[in-house]
Amino acid sequence: MTSGGATTKHVDDKIGPELNSNSPLHTPGYTWPFVNGPHQWCPGEHKFFGWLAQDANMTASNTPETFFGGGFTFDEATHVLTIPQVTFTKDTPQFDFMYSDIFTTEPINTPVPLEFKHLFSAFYITGENKQDDTEYDITSITISGLNNTQSATIDFGTGDVTPVVTYTDNTGSPGEFFFDFSGTDTTLSKEDGQKTLTGTYLMWPQKREYFTDAKLTLNYNYGGVAAPAKEIDLSSMAAWEPGQVKKLNLVFNVDQITFIIEELVAWNDNEKNIPVQM
């Protein structure tokens, strides 16, 4: 967490809910104290901003320096945070990096409010069977062609409330996520409704043009017999925005032989359907 004027750093510290504080402004569950606080105000305008220093949900690589490597740097002169190149695969540690907005204020006698945003997007896969008296057993799913190697910069030097985030498309092989469901219960019946098939996986945001060569390959058994593999073209997929979790819902309906990619536009938004004819 840093604060200060346009060129001078006044506070460089960390905050967290597990810390103790003697400050009368600290309310557990509402405000977080500083590691080295409390700090005193000095006259003038102050800018507050920060980023995730540790992901408590992870068991390894739970700091940005460990996860991103030595290229994770903050330029004190320009206030630009550099996020080095990372390649996301199914086995990449799920480090949900977050950064704050910019709060500018004169000295105040209330807590400093900061709103945090997610740097990455995410996705998971579900299946739904709409056919009576028929079951489908999903054996494997492969998603290929995603732009899973990128880097970014976060510019806190702007005078605006929102820092400027720039994503850079880096050179790398298109990403492939292969899900083998051997030994797991992936049988779909109509009574199941939407059944979750995979966990949730972080991914760099995807522009719509990134899906030009992307596809989903589905292998499944029908009536106890392996059906021909189905390839679903993802080129019409809408962009995956930062802070959005996409639900890829495969809907089986024998009458129409149609699979549907359904996307959950955001954590708290409504759903949209994108029909894909086979």
In what helix (H) or strand (E) does residue 179 lie, and over which residues does it extend? Answer: strand 175-180
What pLDDT is attached to residue 272? 40
CA distance 178 to 172: 18
Q: Judge contact between 1 and 50, C-beta under 8 A.
A: yes
Cβ atoms 9, 39 nearer than 8 A: no
* Residue 199: both structure tokens together: 């966990």
Residues of the chain with pLDDT under 50: 1-6, 257, 265, 267-278
Say what the pLDDT of residue 60 is.
Answer: 61
Report the alpha-carbon distance of residue 203 to residue 230 in Å, rounded: 24
Q: Side chain identity at 195, as an amino acid letter?
A: K
Q: Model-level pTM greater than 0.75?
A: yes
pLDDT tens-digit series, residues 112-124: 888 999 999 999 9
In angstroms, rounded to a whole number, what is the distance separating the alpha carbons of residues 55 and 116? 14
Encode pLDDT of 140-199 as tens digits. Answer: 999 999 999 999 999 999 878 999 999 998 777 788 899 999 888 899 998 888 899 998
Contacts 24+ apart (CB under 8 A), 97-101: 97/51, 97/52, 97/55, 97/64, 97/67, 98/51, 98/52, 99/49, 99/50, 99/51, 99/52, 99/154, 99/163, 99/165, 100/48, 100/49, 100/50, 100/51, 101/49, 101/161, 101/162, 101/163
CA distance 73 to 151: 13
Per-residue pLDDT at 64: 92
What pLDDT score was predicted for residue 258? Answer: 57
Q: Cβ atoms within 10 A of the Cβ of 17, count?
A: 11
What pLDDT does residue 146 have? 93
Q: Are 261 and 249 in contact (CB under 8 A)?
A: yes
